[in-house]
Amino acid sequence: MADTQELQPPQEEEFGHSDSYRVATTPLTGDEEKAKAKDGDQKAKKTKKGKKQKKADLEELKQEMEMDWHQITQEELLARLETNLETGLTQEEAARRLKRDGPNALTPPPTTPEWIKFAKQLFGGFATLLWIGSILCFIAQGVLEGTMEEPSKDNLYLGVALAVVVILTGLFSYYQEAKSSKIMDSFKNMVPEEAHVLRDGGQHTVPSEDLCIGDVVYVKGGDRLPGDLRVMEAKSFKVDNSSLTGESEPQSRSPDCTSDNPLETRNLAFFSTYALEGNCTGVVVQIGDNSVMGRIANLASGLGSGKTPIAIEIEHFIHIITSVAVFLGVTFFIIAMALDYAWIEAVIFLIGIIVANVPEGLLATVTVCLTLTAKRMASKNCLVKNLEAVETLGSTSTICSDKTGTLTQNRMTVAHLWYDNNIVEADTSEEQKGGDTEKYTETWRALSRVATLCNRANFKAGQEDKPVLKRECAGDASESALLKYVEIAIGNVIQYRKRHPKVCEIPFNSTNKYQVSIHELHQKEEGKDDLPENEKEKDFHHVLVMKGAPERILDRCSHIMIDGEVKEMDDKMQESFNQAYLDLGGLGERVLGFCQKLLPAEEYPKGFEFNPEDPPNFPLTGLCFVGLMSMIDPPRAAVPDAVSKCRSAGIKVIMVTGDHPITAKAIAKGVGIISAGTETEEDIAERLNIPVDQVDKSQAKAIVVHGAKLKDMDQEQIDDVLKNHTEIVFARTSPQQKLIIVEGCQRNGAIVAVTGDGVNDSPALKKADIGVAMGIAGSDVSKQAADMILLDDNFASIVTGVEEGRLIFDNLKKSIAYTLTSNIPEISPFLMFIILDIPLPLGTITILCIDLGTDMVPAISLAYEEAENDIMKRLPRNPKTDNLVNERLISMAYGQIGMMQACAGFFTYFVIMGENGFFPRDMFGLRKPWDDRRNNSVMDSYGQEWSYKQRKILEYTCHTAFFVSIVIVQWADLIICKTRRNSLFTQGMKNKMLNFGLLFETLLAVFLSYTPGMAYGLNMYPLNWNWWFPAFPFSLVIWIYDEVRRYILRRYPGCWLDKETYY
């Protein structure tokens, strides 16, 4: 067991709480800072920096600072900054410093113009392939125009169609994503417009940009702090550091140095944070880019997040498709030359085959699928800012999660009480209806009275109909928790307080660490009887109640109440207190002590004027200890299950928090980040009763790393922690440490999701593969830096997002497999046209009707396909081996299903040509006379002559029939693409959009085939109805073939067929 001191809250913590975070600023000692102040004109004379310099600057921003502004005496501070607390700076000196140091403002980073963002959508990734295809079409058309009298316009139409697809999809992506990199704009909104300063002995209001280092400033409740300040004088001064830390607990500030850590001491306050109450006089020690906020702002805006996994996958896909296209193009160029084609014709063939490999509709399909998933995620409280982030979350292998508000409810709740020498669990169920106090002892009644009266929190108006635990309170988190507990336990707190009006108070301050109030006692009023039994026969008009840090409260007590009786505090009771404090602290709970003193009527009669000024005219020692109450921000109900799902999905969940290690560990155990039975080195040492350094580290699967220890670790040690521990908690971490943790995970090959809500989280959010900000508690800056926003601040929503991300990756694979399969029946007619010298079985315009017509809706409908049953049971995909498009998918789409589809098309083609008199044996070598406009006497197998016009009508009829055949075999392809492993009988046909897709492509094929006028626009002619049927057997064979293949995959997992065909 660790010692008591370790488990007790640190001395500087208000009610057991501390704002624990650190800052990234230049590591300067005090003397160096003074030298810099005298020498530097660095800010005003910035020069453009190269990449190396920028990288060096970022590395410097990641360093934690060493400073002594808070440690030196006020006299030393004033001497170093050459200022005066009575008169401030002179206007001339302020002007000189302003010229030297530059304005107190954040330097905006270079922004990306909107037209460049749009251009990236038009020319990035998959769009590049389509542009190349479009340009090749125009080149081919130009060659044909120069070598033929009346060339076909098909290449021109195809080139225009490709260009239109890219432009429309680019516009769609640009407006859908509305990518926002305006992080610095959010920081600007946090800068106050003006500051109240002392100059030339008088108070002045100046623009905050004109503030200088050494200025004496005045801050009151409601102001934003205009710079980083050393607090010189303060009166009940509290600040809200949530914009900086994400922690919403108000923090007291005073002139006292309470910690060596500059961010934990109470005598420093920081630029852009809010003053909540009270007032202070401070001296400015840092401004602008060198302030805490400025450093974080520049670190966040300077970081790059790199390419998303889906962008890398699309690049990989482009490489594969390009390789296949170029290989086929060059191969058939060589074949054409070998077959004595003219080189011009061979070049046209080369271009045609390359273009035919380009899946024209796939870019739009991928974009629409991502958009649909983004909308679906938004309905589940995950708002995606960047479309590509939809899939990134599914690829995540590590989640670095904040604690407060994400894993927990961000609502302090009373968890345990210690009174009558027993620890009891607090009952916060609202079934008590206030007043069922028979189960409570006299001591509990005294304890609840102190918690009710010595409490400045109040419920906000107009919430009477809300459940108590969901009501909003005016007051800090700890007092609000106490207020809700006693409201549930004893009933109407407002009336209770009215019966015991407050007559005097000493507010909590960081020096005393307690709060005292004195109240009138009314023994009986309107049938109410509030007093414990031991007080009823005595004459008391007032009660003094006190709460605060337990060790401070105990020091002021000479007695303790046990079972309603007041007894002297002896060593045994002190030991019981210490053990209870230790046990509650070990649960990670925030502990408060409570005591009271009944003031005798003869000394303190009714109307007595109590004076709280030092020294007060009432006792603050010799009090009666009544008990302890401990509070915790409880885990969200859905989080343990979500963490369990992550673990079964192979995702490592790491807690990264600024909170105390004990609290962090307790919550980690509560939500399952540290699972039951898993031990840290400290747990093993305690169990074996040996020193920690003697523990075999390999036995500890869990670890809790303190920020102070992390600060001294090098990369190798951090990597060792991340690799060798499955369950990790980082506590008391700083903004840059969170960034270092993210970089460490990425260095080890993880795809990292990071949650955060404060400005301090923005560097890590920006660096992560996917940054997840909190929608409710998150600062504007964190939302700007993130790729995704959790609208309900709930960790469980991230897991929902992971499932959706995995699902869209699976469904994109299915969609691409479906789309690519029809490439073979589209390309093979062109190849046979070259090799066998037959009339062209399928035209370019008809291919466009497939890619941009019949295939589009079915391909998109696969985005609506439900998850297969193993989606959250398999490990995260390995980006190096598990690609969106891999060799197995190409093999299935091109080498197996595509070949069957091509056979269906050719069978239909030869049936129609045969029915019209052209038998297959007579068609080889027929291409040249067939396409010769001047030849009107081409004979069929029966010797009948065909004119050029008649031949072309038959050819276009064959194009239409080939097109219809592809649609029919794509029915089967769509159905088999629904699932990669499950049987269709298991998966079912519940996807209504897919069923609509089947109907849509069929009706569109009917419309294009039979609508009058299509012969002129699309070269499509009506078919005899019996020409629809030749492709049906092939469609059935495709479905049966794949159903058998998937049966073998399920029956013999890991078999040869699994390795070769499971994509």
β-partners of residue 253 are: 237
Asked if omega into 615 is within 30° of 0 (cis), the reply is yes
Q: What is the DSSP string of 416-466?
A: EEEETTEEEE----GGGTTT--TTS-HHHHHHHHHHHHS---EEPSS-TTS
Contact 730/700 with Cβ under 8 angstroms? no
Instruction: Please provide the distance, in angstroms rounded to a whole number, between the alpha carbons at the two ends of the chain.
Output: 52
Euclidean distance between CA atoms 192 and 219, whole angstroms = 12
**Tokens standing for 43?**
């800010």
402 catalytic per annotation: yes
Q: At what angle do helices 126-147 and 362-379 cross, to 10 degrees?
A: 160
β-partners of residue 218 are: 196, 281
**Residues near 116 by beta carbon (within 8 Å), at least 6 away in sequence:** none
Chain mean position to CA 631: 28
**Tokens standing for 745?**
């995970």
Element of type H or E holding 691: none
Which of 1002, 948, 992 minimizes the C-alpha distance to 972? 1002
Rg (CA), the chain: 38
Contact 398/391 with Cβ under 8 angstroms? no
Which of 264, 10, 58 minimizes the C-alpha distance to 736? 58
- Residue environment code for 94-107, b if the CB has 16+ CB neighbours within 10 A, otherwise e: beebbebbbbbbbe
**Tokens standing for 94?**
């302020």
Contact 248/477 with Cβ under 8 angstroms? yes
Which of 313, 226, 268, 300 minimizes the C-alpha distance to 68? 268
Euclidean distance between CA atoms 884 and 395, whole angstroms = 11
Chain mean position to CA 983: 35
**Residues near 461 by beta carbon (within 8 Å), at least 6 away in sequence:** none
How far, in Å, are 435, 522, 984 from residue 535 at the CA level?
20, 11, 77
Could you tell me how many residues make up the chain? 1063
Q: DSSP label at 405?
A: T
**Tokens standing for 465?**
């109909």
Map residue 196 onto helix, strand or coil.
strand
Euclidean distance between CA atoms 715 and 727, whole angstroms = 19
**Tokens standing for 904?**
């269906």
Contact 800/646 with Cβ under 8 angstroms? no
Which of 448, 604, 458 minimizes the C-alpha distance to 521? 604
Which of 180, 177, 171 minimizes the C-alpha distance to 122? 171
**Looking at this protein, which amino acid is placed at residue 745?**
C
The active-site residue out of 402, 761, 787, 1042 is 402
- Kindly list the catalytic residues: 402
